[in-house]
Amino acid sequence: MTAPILRQLADLRALTKTWQQAGERIAVVPTMGALHDGHLSLVKSAKAGADRVIVTIFVNPKQFNNPDDLANYPRTEHDDAAKLRPYGVDVIYAPDADQIYPEGFATNVSVSGISAGLCGAHRPGHFDGVATVVTKLFLQTSADQAYFGEKDYQQLMLVRRVARDLDIPIDVVGCPTVREADGLALSSRNTHLSDSARAIAPALHRAMDRAAAQITAGAPVDDSLEQARADILAARFADVEYLELRSAATLTPMTLANAPARLLAAAMLDGVRLIDNIAVAPVTPPR
């Protein structure tokens, strides 16, 4: 059955109140629509972890630093609802813009530290937009759990920090990145790639995998990252915005993989900004 679509906060609250009164656990899967198998894997995990599942669809203008990017972002609500049908989602919350940003809206949720660097350095204001909308969605849905993909690893860390810092009683659950058979991480942006660019795109993940293996085997981090950067450019990516080794727990930069680490990258291909990240096992297992 197709899940009902609610656009008004009051309607959502009326529904969640009945669930809470029945003692049911609520999960939310926040999305901007253009759903793919990565999102659907979050929905599946949410279904397994809670009694009720809300999928939110809201293309959040506050997190786009580039107006063209916002204008071109795919809006496919009808298809999204159809894709969700087999998963038994209880409700789709696709709020009208004024339900998120009412007239005179003036509050900004900003997370220092985690927002700096990586995507934060290349997309000014992006993470304030994410933190603000996610805070609103957490409060509006009163969910007990929220599901996010590890594909946006910096976002996942940021959202965890927001929930912890603002005492929002929600369990933020991170789910593994879903990939195409050739390794390309699923993303709504992949649909913007031309056929030839699509064939090149997995080179990003391949280069990262190689670098991660070298680092875990004890190769110097700088050399491994430099080689990976060269490989990505040789594959005909136009630019590597960043390629960095960071702590998996805190996202602080690492020059030695002596604790669980994450290799994170953003690179431009065919005018499309692709991001990816993978776990890097420590050189010596922590004692």
Choice from 12, 28, 32, 157 touching ligand PAF (CB under 6 A): 32
State in angstroms the smallest separation of the CB of 201 from ligand PAF: 19
Report H helices in 151-266.
153-165, 195-200, 203-216, 221-234
CA-CA distance, 60 to 210, in Å (whole number)? Answer: 35
- When the beta carbons of 19 and 58 are compared against ligand PAF, the nearer one is 58
Torsion of CA 132, 134, 136, 137, to 10 degrees: 160
Q: Which residues on neighbouring strands pair with residue 26, listed in sequence order?
A: 52
The two structure tokens encoding residue 48: 């397994």
SS (H, E, C) 18-77: HHHHCCCCEEEEEECCCCCHHHHHHHHHHHHHCCEEEEEECCCHHHCCCHHHHHHCCCCH
Choice from 41, 60, 140, 214 touching ligand PAF (CB under 6 A): 60
Instruction: Determine contact, residues 284/216, Cβ cutoff 8 Å.
Output: no
- When the beta carbons of 32 and 201 are compared against ligand PAF, the nearer one is 32
Instruction: Determine contact, residues 3/91, Cβ cutoff 8 Å.
Output: yes
How far from 109 is each of 88, 184, 244, 251, CA to CA, in Å?
Answer: 32, 32, 26, 20
Q: Which residues contact 27 (CB under 8 A, 6 or more apart)?
A: 46, 47, 49, 50, 52, 53, 54, 143, 144, 145, 146, 147
Short-list 197, 196, 176, CA closest to 185? 176
State in angstroms the smallest separation of the CB of 19 from ligand PAF: 21
Taking every pair of Cα atoms in the chain, the longest distance, rounded to a whole number of angstroms, is 58
Choice from 9, 91, 92, 130 touching ligand PAF (CB under 6 A): 130
Choice from 16, 31, 45, 99 touching ligand PAF (CB under 6 A): 31
Count of residues engaged in binding ligand PAF, rule: CB under 6 A: 10
- When the beta carbons of 123 and 229 are compared against ligand PAF, the nearer one is 123
Binding to ligand PAF in span 144-203, by CB under 6 A: 152, 155
Choice from 28, 30, 91, 174 touching ligand PAF (CB under 6 A): 30
State in angstroms the smallest separation of the CB of 124 from ligand PAF: 16
- When the beta carbons of 146 and 254 are compared against ligand PAF, the nearer one is 146
Binding to ligand PAF in span 61-80, by CB under 6 A: 63
State in angstroms the smallest separation of the CB of 286 from ligand PAF: 30
State in angstroms the smallest separation of the CB of 287 from ligand PAF: 36
Window contacting ligand PAF (CB under 6 A); options: 7-15, 26-34, 98-106, 268-276: 26-34
Residue 134 near ligand PAF by CB under 6 A = yes
- When the beta carbons of 135 and 224 are compared against ligand PAF, the nearer one is 135
The answer to whether residue 39 is catalytic is yes
Q: Which residues contact 98 (CB under 8 A, 6 or more apart)?
A: none
State in angstroms the smallest separation of the CB of 217 from ligand PAF: 33
The structure tokens 């680092």 sit at: 215
Active-site amino acid positions: 39
Chain positions contacting ligand PAF, by CB under 6 A: 30-32, 60, 63, 130, 133-134, 152, 155
